[in-house]
Structure 1
Amino acid sequence: MTKTLRDPRDCADMGELRAAIDVIDVEIIGMLARRVGYIDRAVELKRDNGLPANIPDRVEDVVEKVRAEASRIGYDPELAEKLYRIMISWSIDREERRLG
């Protein structure tokens, strides 16, 4: 269950602010772990369909969508792209190892 957090501007002190950041970090890690489950399922489907781990058009599609969403919500699209390219590279490496 997600804890309701105060707006950052309403945090009275560093302790409260840090506690909120810690809650968000737990949520982020949980979502990343959940995403890996989908990556692992992709390995099975790619194996069944003779697809490679790295599909460049899909990579660029994901990055484009992430940049657009980052811009939409006021997050730095350059940072979003960098983070996702690292995550995508890791995911492709994981898929390649599992695909053999």
Structure 2
Amino acid sequence: CGADYVKVQQCAPDGVPLIVNACCVTVDGDADRLLYFYTDESNVFHLLDGDRIATLVAGYLMDLVKESKLKINLGLVQTAYANGSSTDYIANTLVS
């Protein structure tokens, strides 16, 4: 069970009851990786992995900085294991 199971199987661990739109979280064995997941009204499983969480938080922080009109530069660091699509999104959409 844990984060690896949820990511590979794309479903909640056995014995975890899913409530529609209830946010669930799982971590890996040493708790250095976090995943959120939920099931929507159509019983579709949704997974938010570290790359997705990072882009959501970065986008939110960028909106706050813009609204504040402060001159602050933000950065987002990814590991070499990051999803290439998320890297492209960050470079081509989030920062443009």
Relative to the length of structure 2, the TM-score reads 0.36
For the pair shown, which has the larger CA radius of gyration, 1 or 2? Answer: 1
Instruction: From the two aligned structures, give the one with the greater strand fraction.
Output: 2
Bigger relative contact order (CA 8 A; separation at least 6):
1
Instruction: From the two aligned structures, give the one with the greater helix fraction.
Output: 1
